[in-house]
Amino acid sequence: MKHTPWWQTAVFYQIYPRSFADGNGDGIGDFAGLIDKLDYLQDLGIDAIWLSPHYASPQFDCGYDIADYLSPAEEYGTLDEFKRFLDGAHARGIRIILDLVLNHTSDQHQWFIDSRSSRDHPKRDWYIWRDGRDGGPPNNWHAAFSDSAWEYDAATGQYYYHYFFKEQPDLNWRNPEVKRAMFDAARFWLDLGVDGFRLDAIGTLFEDPTLADHTAEMSQRDLFRELRDSFPSQTDTEHARYLAEQFRRLIEKQVDQPGVHELMRELRALVDEYDDRVLVGETDEISYYGDGDNELHLTFNFPLMRAARLTPAWILANQAERLAALPPGAWPCNTLGNHDSPRVLSRYADGRDPDALARLHLALMLTLRGTPFLYNGEEIGMGDWPLADIGQFRDNLGVWRYQMIMAEADEGRIDALDVNEALALANNFSRDKGRTPMQWRNAPNGGFTPAGVAPWLPVHPNYAQGVNVADQANDPGSMLNFYRAMLRLRRRTPALILGDFEPLNAPADCLVFLRRTKAQRCLVALNFSEEPQTLDLGGVARFARSLWKAEEQGGGGAGEMIDLSRLMLTPFGIYIGELDE
């Protein structure tokens, strides 16, 4: 029988190291803190960790601007401490994948310092340098995190290309030396024993070599203004389509260009030299699964999370499209939140009961077909924490948005705003609100860092209202214990991990489906409304043996037979049962 790879059965948990646990009391998370929390993670019941960048970095983009791929950030600890973390995780049966940022380095990386030092330096061609055009940049391309994608460097009189901040110059992946150096870095960590990589922003690795102008009619700023800081989800008006087309044209020459697939195949071959490692791509594009076995093992189903509300219709349409598009043998991968997005609890609540919805959304993640990725803090119900002062922002994307708003107000393009309005808009855009420190106890700074020490980002004050690990650990009704129980249920229920996905007819507010292996059939019924629902699923089977009922945390009542012609769901209720064959 074909052996099931670990990453198909695993639940991943993303750790943002700066915010997870501060072991040395300097206000910044570190390896000592991570080591200290390994028992917590084992107890939680996750199988694998995706660690956001832990490398040396000036932190202009919170670690996604790497200054040395072979050394950890000093404030996180030494390489030896990293190894202790890795070994400690492995000893507990937890795998670790690292974040690999291939597209760009920090402008403080020695490679770039050398590259910009002169036009003749052997590293010049490691980055993308071009002459200007008519006294301006080489073309009209935008950067995702600023205006022009080109930065003029007076010392050598040329421009360099950056898809993100100008502090993150793009590497030239057409240069074989770049590939060699980066592949060596990948090997360095694989040799150390890490279990794979989450590949950052792979779509941006290559650009159209002709540097042809983009053909969008709108500038990025105009687009942002139109979108009013929200995402145009679930709207299908002519104008929304126009904006989507403008966005497509804006980045058309800079994203998903020829060359990426070949590179992914080469990276896959490298990783396949090692046993049992995994590559997960930060991309929507299913095409990066290749033929199902020769590019990435997983790519995120981001389209699922791009909604103001997760409705059964939205989820079903997403699953139908996504599962049908997978190449043979490819395995899906679902997520609702990460360090770039608002927190799940805040994002989808929409004025309804956030706690109940968060539980429902976890049930969804753990019962859909595919590897789930969770984000640290969601297991205790952490929500977004918008910052009160622009001086507290650490995400330069938020700062840039704030400056843009202020400039627009100054130019009279938008009504003058009071400071609070401008801050609220900047907070909408900024990723800091979902990156605040983990809340461990009801103690100053949520127990993340000692009293009197300023954490690198403020701690959400609701640690004092029970949103913390220690208070929830012994409360059977807590979010934390809900996560633990749901993770245990998944682990012991093969059909929830490996089964086919078969949607069933149900009222619009309910999502009902089967997960089926040869040996087991599970029924999942999720009520997305605040009204109780009674479903008649008698056509599927007469009875189900309950594995989970919303009112019975911990899978209590397991074994109870339920009459499926009258399956009752509480508001936002969850039912998971096993059908007799």
Quick one: which of 495, 493, 506 has its CA closest to 567?
506
Q: HSE-up of 163 (CA within 13 Å, CB side)?
A: 27
164 contributes a contact to ligand GLC by CB under 6 A: yes
Q: How far apart are CA 77 and CA 51, in angstroms?
A: 14
Instruction: Output the CA–CA distances (angstroms, integers) from residue 110 to 37, 79, 149, 173, in the order listed.
Output: 34, 20, 21, 17
Q: How far is the CB of 52 from ligand GLC (least distance, A)?
A: 8
Considering the complex, state which of residue 377 and residue 499 has its C-beta at the smaller distance from ligand GLC.
Answer: 377
Q: How far apart are CA 283 and CA 301, in angstroms?
A: 8
101 contributes a contact to ligand GLC by CB under 6 A: yes
Residues designated catalytic: 200, 282
141 contributes a contact to ligand GLC by CB under 6 A: no
Q: How far apart are CA 107 and CA 433, in angstroms?
A: 26
Considering the complex, state which of residue 57 and residue 533 has its C-beta at the smaller distance from ligand GLC.
Answer: 57
Q: How far is the CB of 457 from ligand GLC (least distance, A)?
A: 15
384 contributes a contact to ligand GLC by CB under 6 A: no
User: For 402, which DSSP code?
Assistant: H
Considering the complex, state which of residue 104 and residue 484 has its C-beta at the smaller distance from ligand GLC.
Answer: 104
Q: Residues for the chain: how many in total? A: 581
**Residues 381 and 463: beta-carbon distance below 8 Å:** no
Q: How far is the CB of 90 from ligand GLC (least distance, A)?
A: 25
7 contributes a contact to ligand GLC by CB under 6 A: no
For residue 325, the SS3 value is helix
61 contributes a contact to ligand GLC by CB under 6 A: yes
Considering the complex, state which of residue 13 and residue 64 has its C-beta at the smaller distance from ligand GLC.
Answer: 64
- Three-class DSSP labels, 444-462: HHHHCCCCCCCCCCCCCHH
31 contributes a contact to ligand GLC by CB under 6 A: no
258-287: which residues touch ligand GLC (CB under 6 A)? Answer: 282
CA angle 88/93/96 to nearest 5° reads: 70
364 contributes a contact to ligand GLC by CB under 6 A: no
Considering only residues 68, 125, 226, 340, which one is a binding residue for ligand GLC as defined by CB under 6 A?
340
Q: How far is the CB of 395 from ligand GLC (least distance, A)?
A: 8
Q: How far is the CB of 226 from ligand GLC (least distance, A)?
A: 22
Q: How far apart are CA 378 and CA 375, in angstroms?
A: 6
Q: How far is the CB of 407 from ligand GLC (least distance, A)?
A: 22
* Core vs surface per residue 461-476: b (16+ CB within 10 A) or e: ebbeebbbbbbbeeee
Q: How far apart are CA 367 and CA 332, in angstroms?
A: 12
Considering the complex, state which of residue 288 and residue 463 has its C-beta at the smaller distance from ligand GLC.
Answer: 288
Q: Between 197 and 236, how does the x/- string for binding to ligand GLC read (CB under 6 A)?
A: ---xx-----------------------------------
Q: HSE-up of 26 (CA within 13 Å, CB side)?
A: 11
**Binding footprint of ligand GLC, residue count (CB under 6 A):** 9
Q: Which residues pair with residue 562 across a beta bridge?
A: 544
375 contributes a contact to ligand GLC by CB under 6 A: no
Considering the complex, state which of residue 127 and residue 164 has its C-beta at the smaller distance from ligand GLC.
Answer: 164
Question: Which residues form the interface with ligand GLC (CB under 6 A)?
Answer: 61, 64, 101, 164, 200-201, 282, 339-340
